[in-house]
Structure 1
Amino acid sequence: MASTSSSFELFFHLLPLLPLLLLSTMKTTTMAAFEDFTSFVYVGCSQNRYTLGSPYQLNVDSLLTTLVNAATFSSYHDSTSAAASATAPAYGLFQCRADLPVPDCAACVRSALDRLSSLCPSSAGAGVQLKGCFLRYANDSFLGKPDTGLVYKKCGAATASAEVAGMRDAALSALAGGGGMGEYRVGAAGRVQALAQCVGDQDGKQCGDCVASAVEQVKDGCGAADAGDVYLGKCYVSYWSTGAYALASPGHYHGDHVSGRTIAIVLAITIAVVVGIIFLSVMRRSGK
């Protein structure tokens, strides 16, 4: 009886951990369902090119190595490289989606670097946006400077639904609430969800101004579309309505959606594992 009692004590000690186990498993399952974070969005390459073997190339190579290494422990990093030549510095940064786990962030930045190498060889400046991350370098100091110029726009299918348009406007309004909201913002209204993120070199006011501009541009540019993405120089805004993008479709990475059926399955598996541990513990102690 003492062994059985101890096992039941173990069970009640494990019960508080069930929500933590469930959330951990849910996160893993959910993130695995959206493996398109390296899907291509856009690239920009400067017309000017550097000379192979020049001090500037050495600075660029050093800079990109620093950024890729920093992505293994951070979701944002900016740097300046001038070791090879102080007169030819290279400036750069990377940024990942705030909800992207660090290992996926590192993988995304590596993929972005591969894209730059193949699409912008020897470019004096270049930037590539993947769904989960952004990587940019240049020979002029763009760090800390605001930029609300339109870089890329994508709109979904047109819809005549005034209801969806109203939900979209409400969701987008939640994003443009001022600089105090932080660099990563989410909004929702009915069937429409929205998100925005500023590049990490922007202060609160710069971020707020950029998001407000992006919200207006996605409204004007996408009209009555059921989904839209607008990327400006230092921020982006995205909105989508239920069904506008399939879960596995390229171009969107939404890591916070879990269906009720998925929760039920994960909960059942988690409870089964805990009960199995308790049963084995009881059998082992009874054998003794």
Structure 2
Amino acid sequence: MAELLLLLLLLLLLLSISIRYSAANTDTFIFAGCSPSKYDAGSAYAQNVNSLLSSLADAASSSAYAKLTSSSANGLFQCRGDVSAPDCASCVRSAVSQLPPICPSAAAATIQLDACMMRYGNDSFLGKQDTNLLYKKCGPIPNNGYNADLIGMRDDALGSLVASGGTGGTYRNGAAGSVQAAAQCAGDISARDCSDCVSSAVGQVKAVCGFAASGEVYLGKCFAKYYSSGFSSSPSTPSSSSSSSSTYNPPSSRPNNSGDESGKTVAIIIGLMAGIALLIIFLSFVRRNGNNEGKS
């Protein structure tokens, strides 16, 4: 009995660690942008911003997208379309906690995490198209440089994102061979503006990432990304850069994708360990039952 209880405790510990790593991946920082203009601490606008961010965090408990306005500030958040409701709420709460230290007293700011984005400001950005490039990241290039098969699959996968259409906030995904692709617009723009934004993002990710095996771009109101597997690549590390928009200073970025990938690997390993522990518990239970039946 003591052995069984020990294994159960081990299983619960492994599962809790796995869940923690999984949640941490959704909160991974990608970039942030801060306006040069500041607000005074204790001012009416500061109170409006704090109230707005708190309301956005509350709204995330029941929705994957929301836009809110106060007397002088506008704000929105949106979670990636393939993210679960609990992970969405967790990501938005993390964005609310991360944004003020990154952009202290900024009159307008945006933050992009792996699973969600958030933006607020005293300008009328809600409902307006914005295809300015905020952030780009390109993966390694295959060892042989240009790979016709890879580029063909990439173009087909990205092309399906443009063809799929959908409303403003619709999450789009596509695949061709070993290449996966995804795109999504902010929910405050029209279906037509969304299609135009995705088309622009697809064109830009192909242009800036060239022959790379993976790439992603974030524009003002949408993102597009692709990833391929099965191609050996050079040891060069993925590069990232950004450009400024008319609203924000050049977004700041932290090199974090390697940590994100390692976190996923750790979560997979821990999940496997939890599965093995569960199997051991089951076999132990069967063995004990067999021994008890033999004695009877």
Normalising to structure 2: TM-score of the pair?
0.71
1:58/1:183 CA distance change after superposition, 3 Å: same
**What is the number of equivalent residue pairs in this alignment?**
244
TM alignment of 1:49-68, pairs within 5 A? 49-68=38-57
**1:176 and 2:162 correspond:** yes
Q: How far, CA to CA, are the matches of 1:176 and 1:252 in structure 2?
A: 28
Q: How far, CA to CA, are the matches of 1:116 and 1:45 in structure 2?
A: 9
Aligned to 1:76: 65
1:35/1:60 CA distance change after superposition, 3 Å: closer
Aligned to 2:89: 106
Deviation at 1:180, TM superposition (A): 3.1
Query: Is contact 2:130-2:220 (8 Å) kept?
Result: yes
Aligned to 2:113: 130
SS at match of 2:54: helix
Q: How far, CA to CA, are the matches of 1:178 and 1:204 in structure 2?
A: 11
Counterpart AA for 1:61? N
1:240/1:31 CA distance change after superposition, 3 Å: farther
Q: How far, CA to CA, are the matches of 1:118 and 1:35 in structure 2?
A: 19
1:200 pairs, out of 183, 187, 197, with 187
Aligned to 1:157: 140
Higher alpha-carbon Rg = 1
Deviation at 1:36, TM superposition (A): 1.0
Q: How far, CA to CA, are the matches of 1:152 and 1:122 in structure 2?
A: 22
Identical columns (%): 49
Aligned to 2:206: 219
Q: How far, CA to CA, are the matches of 2:190 and 2:74 in structure 1?
A: 18
Bigger mean CA offset, 97-106 vs 141-150: 97-106
1:30/1:51 CA distance change after superposition, 3 Å: closer
Structure 1 residue ranges (4+ consecutive) displaced by more than 6 angstroms after TM superposition: 29-32
Deviation at 1:104, TM superposition (A): 1.2
Query: Is contact 2:186-2:222 (8 Å) kept?
Result: yes
TM alignment of 1:193-272, pairs within 5 A? 193-242=180-229, 249-250=258-259
Q: How far, CA to CA, are the matches of 1:231 and 1:74 in structure 2?
A: 22
Deviation at 1:116, TM superposition (A): 1.0
SS at match of 1:180: coil
SS at match of 1:64: helix
1:147 pairs, out of 113, 130, 137, with 130
Q: How far, CA to CA, are the matches of 1:136 and 1:180 in structure 2?
A: 23
Q: How far, CA to CA, are the matches of 1:76 and 1:214 in structure 2?
A: 21
1:39 pairs, out of 18, 22, 28, with 28
Deviation at 1:179, TM superposition (A): 3.1
Unpaired segments ≥5 residues, structure 1: 1-28, 83-88, 281-288
Deviations 1:37-66 (A, max 9, x none): 111111100000011111111111111111
Counterpart AA for 1:218? V
Query: Is contact 2:82-2:171 (8 Å) kept?
Result: no
Deviation at 1:249, TM superposition (A): 4.0
Counterpart AA for 1:177? A
Unpaired segments ≥5 residues, structure 2: 1-17, 238-256, 290-296
Deviations 1:106-159 (A, max 9, x none): 111121122211111100000010111101100011111111111100000123
**1:115 and 2:98 correspond:** yes
Deviations 1:217-240 (A, max 9, x none): 000110000000100000000101
Q: How far, CA to CA, are the matches of 1:32 and 1:251 in structure 2?
A: 9
